[in-house]
Amino acid sequence: MKRPVARITGTGGYLPERRMDNHELSKRVETSDAWIRERTGIIERRIAAPGEMTSDLALQASRRALEMAGLTVNDLDMILVGTISPDLLFPSVATLLLRKLGGTRFIPAFDLQAACTGFLYGLSVGESFIASGQCRRVLVCGAETFSRVVDWRDRSTCVLFGDGAGAVVLEAVEGTEDGRGLLSTHIHADGVSADLLKASGGVSAGPPSDRGPEMDGIGYVLMQGNEVYKQAVTVMGRLVDETLAANGLEKSQVDWLVPHQANIRIIQGIAKRLGMGMDRVVVTVERHGNTSAASVPLALDEAVRDGRIQPGQLVLMEAFGAGFTWGSALMRW
């Protein structure tokens, strides 16, 4: 019997209302609009309101994705959330999301911590559960309030990130003569580069009662930007080749690249390697900054809703993040 194929039947995105542009940032730290634009392509990013949690952003994005798919939460068999900025250490954002969506079936719901690759990890896990026949409908979300883990005194990191959420509904389809659906997903990690990009804290900081002033700085993002940059370009190039080779496809057959939105120069490098003009690359980094696990589903949602991505087109999604982790998905839309 043929395995069911997973198809994305709904997408949704949500950005907090508050915009923070580079000019505002330059009043906080020693930086400039010109420096940020030139090095990253970012013009502004969104910042969650006080009390607006990652699960709240996930809720808005998920509602939109469910609405597009014509489903309700009780039609779902699983909820997956990629995030590194959960509301709480536990329980997971996925379980909070299940509650906020009003779900009354006891479906599995869990977070995936793969930094900026969290959404691609979620797609891969969701696809596997669908292919094995254990689930018919899976909600995969990437959601972050990254503004709460950046050190607003550190100009080398605070200019890069933003808040947001994106979600997709994955559904099982049989008999796909048209070949539409997820063709393959690819996820990886090396683990040896953890010190190049990390947020310390968690339990390694000890119990909160024992934390003195020497702990100032714990919990914030630390990054060796130029090293991360070099590795991201190399690894993403390899990943694109791996993804196409697994499907026997050529670079020229890809209609849309939906990349992780960390830096316009990294995105341009990958597009060049694919031989793609930037008119076939979905770019949101200038308005969103790097929203980590939310960046790919947010970009995908924009391009689906504005009609750029059309049925039958070949869409390549990819991401790279702390760990390092990296992942891709190729889909016949």
Sheet strands (E) in 136-288: 137-145, 163-173, 181-189, 197-199, 221-223, 256-259
Residues that bind ligand COA (CB under 6 A): 31, 35-36, 39-40, 116, 155-156, 159, 223, 225-226, 228-229, 232, 262-263, 290, 320-321
Question: Nearer to ligand COA by C-beta: 35 or 110?
Answer: 35
22 neighbors 33 (Cβ within 8 angstroms): yes
Question: Cβ of residue 155: shortest distance to ligand COA, in angstroms?
Answer: 4
Question: Nearer to ligand COA by C-beta: 10 or 164?
Answer: 164
Q: Return d(Cα 307, Cα 309) in angstroms, integer.
A: 6
Q: Does residue 324 have a cis bond before it (omega within 30 degrees)?
A: yes
83 neighbors 124 (Cβ within 8 angstroms): no
280 neighbors 313 (Cβ within 8 angstroms): no
Q: Is 195 exposed, middle or buried (0-12, 13-18, 19+ CB in 10 A)?
A: exposed
263 assigned to active site: no
Question: Nearer to ligand COA by C-beta: 12 or 269?
Answer: 269
Question: Cβ of residue 28: shortest distance to ligand COA, in angstroms?
Answer: 10
Backbone phi and psi for residue 259, each to the nearest 5 degrees, phi listed first? -90, 160
Question: Nearer to ligand COA by C-beta: 31 or 268?
Answer: 31
Catalytic-role residue among 135, 260, 263, 288: 260
Measured from each CB, the residue nearest to ligand COA is: 225
Q: Return d(Cα 115, Cα 206) in angstroms, integer.
A: 22
Catalytic-role residue among 22, 135, 158, 290: 290
260 assigned to active site: yes
Question: Cβ of residue 21: shortest distance to ligand COA, in angstroms?
Answer: 14
Catalytic-role residue among 116, 135, 141, 158: 116
226 assigned to active site: no
Question: Cβ of residue 232: shortest distance to ligand COA, in angstroms?
Answer: 6
Question: Nearer to ligand COA by C-beta: 110 or 229?
Answer: 229
Which of 47, 108, 48, 117 shows the shortest CA–CA distance to 78?
108
Question: Cβ of residue 45: shortest distance to ligand COA, in angstroms?
Answer: 13
Which of 184, 186, 185, 183 shows the shortest CA–CA distance to 332?
183
Instruction: List active site positions.
Output: 116, 260, 290
